[in-house]
Chain A
Amino acid sequence: MKAHPSLQMLFQRFWEIAGGVSVRSKILGIVLGLVILLGLGITVQVRQALTRTMAAQLAEQSVSVARDLAARSTDLILLNDLFALHRLLQETKANNQNVAYAFLLDTNGQVLASTYGETFPVDLIAVNPIEPTAHHHTLVLATNQGYVWDTAVPILEGQVGTARVGLSDASLRRMLVTITNQLLLTTALVSLIGITAATFLTWILTRPILDLAQAAQAVAQGNFTKRVKRWANDEIGELATAFNQMVSELAKAEEIRREREFLRRQLLEKVIVTQEDERKRIARELHDSTSQTLTSLIMGLKVMESGCADIQTQLQARELRQIAVQTLEEVHDLAMQLRPRLLDDLGLRAALERLVKEWQTRYRIAIDLMYHVSQERLPDVVETALYRIIQEALTNVARHAQAHNVSVLIEQRGEELVAVIEDDGIGFDISRIGLSDTAQAHLGLAGMQERAALLGGTITFESEIGRGTSIYIQLPISKVMQNELEDYGIARG
């Protein structure tokens, strides 16, 4: 079935309105619409039926009054008893409320007597002519006083004259007004009842739906304990049951997810701790063992250099010593990179100062470090995490940003540690993170986020192409967080 475009548009328009209002308005609209439609329909029908019936009655009555008048006036006209005629007309009018006028015409069509008295609406005479042989002739006249059923009856077959009677529609109109008022009043009353009923119905219908909506919001916010009551065994009741089942399933799934997340974090933490420990061990090894060995080697070579008379050997020993010195430096650097001793020995500040200094030397980019933390030492995990995050960030800047200036700010704000790393490089499109060409960078960013998340912190990246990059890091250092960290088994030395 294909609807006419204008019909479709009409339906669309209707749906815009009907769909845009609440269920309460819809139900009210249906109830009120039907009641009013029914009320008006009945009113119109009743008015039409009443008008038809009463019009027929008035026409009939007009004939009977006119015939009565004709019969009663015959002798009076013949006897030329004008006063009696006048009285007869007055009585006719007085005895019949519907009579608008009555008058008698003589054979010449002149008014013998009328209910109007001295003056007469002369137009009236000609509108209803009648054959002398006719029984009667009735027609409806429109007048400035409403409709009039005018009947003409010849008196004594027209030999005496004509009797004319007009019945007004006043009673019909009064009846119509009364009936219409009553019907409309009834409609209004029924509408009121309808509104009450619809309001009640709406309450019954929407209460469980609103409950469902509330529960759904609660679930969306992670509250899986919320259940809705099944108010009735109808479709909405079914929905409530299904909803409750769904929430139970979701709660189970959430439980599983949380467990997995916990395990994942534990694993991650273990990996990081192991990595850190390993680095520390290797760094220590390099420092304690390899460095000592190299130092001994250098000392030995120096002794050999000074003790040897052979110039050739002397030169070789010097050369070897220089290689050994260089290797020692490289070993130092490597140890430093793996795990700066300073971080363990003197804390974050010293470690960062050292990192920044070396980074500047290495990449020749201006860097500025501001460190405003009152506590001498921060929790170990925090120091390590922040150090690693900043290290990764600076590596990224050096690799991708093409920056000229970099600033690193670390600040304690209450129970929070805030770090901001800004550069004036080329920036990047954050929405493109995760695409293949930036996968490497993305891994780095994800690693930073993981580290922060492990400590209950957050990292926000702000960047735009050509406008540099800002990284905001927030890490809690409160006791509560400490406890939570311990819960996760992270807060170890």
Chain B
Amino acid sequence: MKRRLLWVLMFLLCFNSACSGTLSLPAAAYVDLEQRVPLPTPLNSAVAPLRVAVAAVISPQGTVESYNLLLESLQSHLNRPIELVQRRTYLEINDLLEQGQVDVAFVCTSAYIAGSEKFGMELLVAPQVKGETVYYSLLLVPSDSSATSIADLRGKVFAFTDPISLSGRMYPTYLVMQQGSTPDEFFGRVFFTYSHDQAILAVANKVADGAAVDSLVYEFFLARDATIGEKTRVIHRSPPFGIPPVVVNPALRPQLKLDLQNFFLSLHEDAQGQAALKAIGVDRFVPIEDSAYQSVRDLLSNLNATR
């Protein structure tokens, strides 16, 4: 009797140990997770890619989506792989340009001015939008905000884009200083979004009570998403500034520079190029002189002087 009970318990125990933790599933493949090897260092491709940097005017993901066609055209034009380089801040792009780790860059106006002063960053071409090569800094507030000028934003939350962005930080700082204050004193709180599209979204979603953004980005966004216009309102428009240019490292081979210039200037001449231009919201690329940025230089030196 006791022995029989023991048998039963033994059986249960066996059943338990035999199958309680086992699973049987149809598996697609077998992989030995213990058999690991050191990761190979990525090999340099036989052909050195042309490294194109795009400053974080809009978010990295948006940049990829917008610049994809342009970069593909460039790749087929040069018959050379293109590597898109993005960094969180404008200054990082400037550093990469200075160190020759980037060949061509779409930079912000203020970044160009800083770069040209620091290491002679060279202008390649500039985009033309709606027939002009200028842009504005727009002061945005949520559409239901009662603010009508920068003065009404005192003590509110303000979103800057990049620390050295002309339209996103320098110009609103200039406006605050005209009010006889500094941004830290004037605004209740400030934060950086590092890109203009994020700043627009911050205002649209009322994370920020106000932000200053690149008019090109704002209009580009308006065209794509009408709800942005419903959620935000422009309460101030700056005087025109020289448009953010395409620049090159001063050490770039003159032949390549010329090649690149030709590419950009002739981009609007075929359908593929037009599609690429449309994707970034640009009519065409045009040559541009450094003098186009003199007004910005004056504003910045004025700002620095006031500080």
Q: Which A positions have Cβ atoms within 8 angstroms of B? A: 25, 28, 32, 36, 40, 43, 47, 51, 55, 74-75, 78-81, 100-101, 108, 110-111, 114, 116, 118-124, 127-128, 139-148, 156, 159-160, 169, 172-173, 176-177, 180-181, 184, 187-188, 191, 195
Q: A74-B60, A81-B88, A116-B36 are in contact. Are A141 and B9 (CB under 8 A)?
A: no
Q: Which residues in B have their C-beta under 8 angstroms from that of A32?
A: 8
Q: Which chain B residue has the least Cβ–Cβ distance from A40?
A: B15
Q: Which residues in A have their C-beta under 8 angstroms from that of B180?
A: none
Q: Which residues in A have their C-beta under 8 angstroms from that of B30?
A: 141-143
Contact B60 A110 (CB under 8 A): no
Name, among B9, B27, B36, the residue most crowded by chain A CB atoms within 10 Å (CB to CB). B36
Q: Which residue in B16, B35, B64 is a CB contact (below 8 Å) of A123? A: B35
B63 at the interface (CB under 8 A from A): yes
The CA of A121 and the CA of B38, in the complex, are separated in Å by 9
Q: Which chain A residue has the least Cβ–Cβ distance from B27?
A: A142
Q: How far is the CB of B286 from chain A (nearest CB, A)?
A: 28
Contact A127 B31 (CB under 8 A): yes
The CA of A265 and the CA of B59, in the complex, are separated in Å by 130
Q: Which residues in A have their C-beta under 8 angstroms from that of B32?
A: 121, 123, 143-144
Q: Which residues in A have their C-beta under 8 angstroms from that of B85?
A: 80
Q: A40-B15, A140-B26 are in contact. Are A156 and B64 (CB under 8 A)?
A: yes
The CA of A492 and the CA of B40, in the complex, are separated in Å by 130
B28 at the interface (CB under 8 A from A): yes
Q: A75-B61, A118-B39 are in contact. Are A51 and B33 (CB under 8 A)?
A: no
The CA of A145 and the CA of B37, in the complex, are separated in Å by 17
The CA of A207 and the CA of B266, in the complex, are separated in Å by 111
Contact A181 B20 (CB under 8 A): yes
B207 at the interface (CB under 8 A from A): no
Q: Which chain B residue has the least Cβ–Cβ distance from A54?
A: B23
Contact A124 B27 (CB under 8 A): no
Q: Which B positions have Cβ atoms within 8 angstroms of A? A: 1, 4-5, 8-9, 11-12, 15-16, 19-21, 23, 25-40, 42, 59-61, 63-65, 68, 84-88
Q: Which residues in A have their C-beta under 8 angstroms from that of B35?
A: 121, 123
Name, among A40, A79, A143, the residue most crowded by chain B CB atoms within 10 Å (CB to CB). A79
Name, among B23, B26, B86, the residue most crowded by chain A CB atoms within 10 Å (CB to CB). B23
Q: A119-B37, A173-B21 are in contact. Are A143 and B31 (CB under 8 A)?
A: yes
Complex A-B, nearest 8 residue pairs according to Cβ-Cβ distance, in ascending order: A78-B60, A142-B27, A119-B36, A180-B20, A139-B28, A75-B60, A142-B30, A127-B29
The CA of A244 and the CA of B21, in the complex, are separated in Å by 61
Q: A144-B33, A173-B21 are in contact. Are A118 and B60 (CB under 8 A)?
A: no
* Complex A-B: 12 CB contacts under 8 Å: A36-B12, A51-B25, A79-B88, A81-B88, A119-B37, A120-B37, A122-B37, A141-B29, A141-B31, A143-B32, A145-B34, A156-B65
Q: Which residues in B have their C-beta under 8 angstroms from that of A74?
A: 60-61
Q: How many A-B residue pairs have CB under 8 A?
A: 129
Q: A78-B61, A127-B29, A146-B23 are in contact. Are A111 and B39 (CB under 8 A)?
A: yes
Contact B60 A121 (CB under 8 A): no
Q: Which chain A residue has the least Cβ–Cβ distance from B85?
A: A80
Q: Which residue in A51, A120, A146 is a CB contact (below 8 Å) of B36? A: A120
Contact A79 B87 (CB under 8 A): yes
The CA of A332 and the CA of B59, in the complex, are separated in Å by 157
Q: How far is the CB of B279 from chain A (nearest CB, A)?
A: 14
Q: Which residues in A have their C-beta under 8 angstroms from that of B61?
A: 74-75, 78, 156
Q: A78-B63, A79-B60 are in contact. Are A140 and B88 (CB under 8 A)?
A: no
Q: Which chain A residue has the least Cβ–Cβ distance from B84?
A: A78
Q: Which residues in A have their C-beta under 8 angstroms from that of B68?
A: 159
The CA of A251 and the CA of B88, in the complex, are separated in Å by 115
Contact A159 B64 (CB under 8 A): yes
Contact B33 A80 (CB under 8 A): no
Contact B33 A124 (CB under 8 A): yes
Q: Which residues in A have their C-beta under 8 angstroms from that of B26?
A: 140
Q: Which residues in B have their C-beta under 8 angstroms from that of A101?
A: 33
Q: Which residue in A124, A140, A172 is a CB contact (below 8 Å) of B28? A: A140
Q: Which chain A residue has the least Cβ–Cβ distance from B34?
A: A144
Q: Which residues in B have their C-beta under 8 angstroms from that of A116?
A: 36
Q: How far is the CB of A461 from chain B (nearest CB, A)?
A: 50
Q: How far is the CB of B12 from chain A (nearest CB, A)?
A: 5
Q: Which chain B residue has the least Cβ–Cβ distance from A75?
A: B60
Q: Which residues in B have their C-beta under 8 angstroms from that of A140?
A: 25-28
Q: Which residues in A have their C-beta under 8 angstroms from that of B19?
A: 47, 180
Q: Which residues in A have their C-beta under 8 angstroms from that of B31?
A: 121, 123-124, 127, 141-143, 148
Q: Which residues in A have their C-beta under 8 angstroms from that of B84?
A: 78
The CA of A308 and the CA of B64, in the complex, are separated in Å by 184
Q: Which residues in A have their C-beta under 8 angstroms from that of B33?
A: 100-101, 121, 124, 143-145, 148
Q: How far is the CB of B266 from chain A (nearest CB, A)?
A: 26
The CA of A128 and the CA of B86, in the complex, are separated in Å by 29
Q: How far is the CB of B264 from chain A (nearest CB, A)?
A: 22
Q: How far is the CB of A71 from chain B (nearest CB, A)?
A: 9
Q: Which residues in B have their C-beta under 8 angstroms from that of A47?
A: 19
Name, among A40, A116, A127, A143, the residue most crowded by chain B CB atoms within 10 Å (CB to CB). A143
Besides the known contacts A156-B61, A184-B15, A184-B20, 7 further A-B residue pairs in the complex with CB atoms under 8 A apart:
A28-B1, A110-B40, A119-B37, A139-B28, A141-B29, A169-B23, A195-B5
Q: Which residue in B12, B36, B64 is a CB contact (below 8 Å) of A121? A: B36
Q: Which residues in A have their C-beta under 8 angstroms from that of B4?
A: 25, 28
The CA of A122 and the CA of B36, in the complex, are separated in Å by 7
Q: Which residues in A have their C-beta under 8 angstroms from that of B39?
A: 110-111, 114, 118-120
Name, among A40, A142, A180, the residue most crowded by chain B CB atoms within 10 Å (CB to CB). A142
Contact A184 B16 (CB under 8 A): yes
The CA of A278 and the CA of B39, in the complex, are separated in Å by 134
Contact A142 B59 (CB under 8 A): no
Q: Which chain B residue has the least Cβ–Cβ distance from A44?
A: B19
The CA of A75 and the CA of B88, in the complex, are separated in Å by 9
Contact B42 A142 (CB under 8 A): no
